[in-house]
Structure 1
């Protein structure tokens, strides 16, 4: 639930490392939804959690698979403090996309945006060019990112389409060769076949008063890519 380092919390927070329970009282699906396969999970703080982050909360996560194969993740976080205290947090869906070869991948939707470069002490810059390609380590936070981002895999002729709501930022990460060799749970050559494009709310913290709830959503689709002179027709992916 916490992206980056915050106080005594581990780097990416504790929610990802906890046992979740089945949610017995999930929010209803929207009227007319066609979703048939889903799981509703809930996380509440344990006594140990309260020692490192002294706030009461409910974190509801719905994982749904739509009839066409799209994956939809919906997160709801509510402040359940009884002492009147608000709390603040940052958030990211930490995605790992499997790609044929990182040198054959391009990202469309983040061009011309301002970003914070974590490799340069969060120095602020503006992205140049008409798409993003990869030649070295990348760890950037793109600000005010659009609701739709395309991850184009030239070799597989496949495009991941990422849609997001309630998550204004996008984190782009690939560790490249040197960091891969120093990361315990990462193979030396695995950086060539992965990429993280994380819908996020990290540049500005989310603050909830007691009783308030925040909602964030991510949808993922995999679609065939069509090319003309090596370029994806953006009307086929980024529009609609």
Structure 2
């Protein structure tokens, strides 16, 4: 999934497939959709890209001494040419494994050895599955702790047309209110102003209903107890270099995460966190979608 962008007939847009090179000389392909990225997104390392699904590790947000959201999203990952096979009982045939290990510079700012394996898989119906495995490879016997999130940008018709089912009645940390803890009171999450909340002990399945596009994102997660919901709204969008002034209307971040309680690994231990995103056609306004069936099905 990717961030949204606003456009006009006078705004030139790149082709859906762009061939480019990174500063290291490696070639890469960028795949874009019409509303799949911010027109202001900066595609130059070490700046994190404001779209897609950045990986927040080993720190979420500013909850530590590292750069915001950690360094993993700003690093080059290696492709595993000989990855472990998929389970024999799965219908998934298309996948790639990426591996991240700390550089000498990384060890200076976060002195822990690790191996981070990210499996990206596509199901036959187009569902996207991300599985992260993080292993402590310290040789000095030291454990380490980290926080984590799939910083998922979703493209939406209009933020005022969005309704999230599955987070109602939960406790949340409000990052806009000195990180105080509150309990969600509404029967669903709707958007009328800037939102930056961490919902705690969130269910394994969440529905993001888009009335305008008559579709619903169904987000499933495992090993990630929290869910972050973020939209910068108009004032913050105007001061963000990599987001257009009006683009907040067409994007929403819903992020499976482990934030409130950091994950601790002893040497040799491994943690796994999984996210799956699927899209189903729906029109909640016309009664074609029963959110409870989506959440419980």
Is the CA contact 2:282–2:288 (under 8 Å) kept in the aligned structure 1?
no
2:237 to 175, 180, 204: 180
What is the alpha-carbon distance in structure 1 between the residues aligned to residue 285 and residue 147 of structure 2?
40
- Counterpart of 1:83 in structure 2 is 140
Determine helix, strand or coil for the equivalent of 2:235: helix
Cα distance in 1, alignment partners of residues 106 and 278 from structure 2: 34
Give the structure 2 partner of residue 204 of structure 1: 261
In structure 1, the residue matched to 2:176 is: 119
Question: How many pairs were matched up?
Answer: 240
Q: Where do 1:129-144 residues align within 5 Å? A: 129-144=186-201
Cα distance change, pair 7–116 in 1 and its aligned pair in 2 (3 A): closer
For the residues of structure 2 that align with 1:4 and 1:27, how far apart are their CA atoms? 32
CA distance in 1, matches of 2:275, 2:75: 21
Scaled by the length of structure 1, the TM-score of the pair is 0.96
Match of 1:108 among 153, 160, 165: 165
Q: Compared with structure 1, are the counterparts of its residues 107 and 231 closer, same or farther at alpha carbon in structure 2 (3 Å cutoff)? A: farther
Partner of 1:66: 123
Gapped regions of structure 2 (runs ≥ 5): 1-56
2:211 is the counterpart of 1:154: yes
Q: Distance in 2 between matches of 1:237 and 1:121?
A: 34
Flag the 1:226–1:155 CA change in 2: closer, same or farther, 3 A.
Answer: closer
Name which of 209, 212, 222 aligns with 1:165: 222
**What's the Cα RMSD here?**
1.4
C-alpha spacing 1:104/1:29, structure 2 compared with 1 (3 Å)? same
Quote the Cα distance in structure 1 between the aligned partners of 2:224 and 2:268.
21
In structure 2, distance between residues paired with 1:89 and 1:104: 35
CA distance in 2: counterparts of 1:37 and 1:61, whole angstroms: 14
Q: Report the secondary structure of 1:119's partner residue.
A: coil
TM-score by length of 2: 0.78
**Larger strand proportion of the pair:** 1
The aligned counterpart of 1:22 is 79
Relative to structure 1, the CA distance from residue 117 to residue 102 in structure 2 (aligned partners, 3 Å threshold; closer, same or farther) is same
1:215 aligns with 2:280: no
Structure 1 residue 34 displacement after superposition: 1.4
Per mean C-alpha deviation after superposition, the further-off stretch among 221-230 and 129-138 is: 221-230
CA distance in 2: counterparts of 1:46 and 1:228, whole angstroms: 51
**By how many angstroms is 1:28 displaced?**
3.0
Structure-1 residue corresponding to 2:246: 189
Match of 2:100 among 17, 28, 43: 43
Deviation at 1:228, TM superposition (A): 5.7
For the 8 Å contact 2:209–2:284, the answer to whether it is kept is no
* Equivalent residue number for residue 93 of structure 1: 150
Which consecutive unaligned segments of at least 5 residues does structure 1 have? none
Alignment-derived partner of residue 32 in structure 1? 89
Q: Displacement, 1:236?
A: 3.3
Alpha-carbon distance in structure 1 between the residues aligned to 2:228 and 2:294: 20
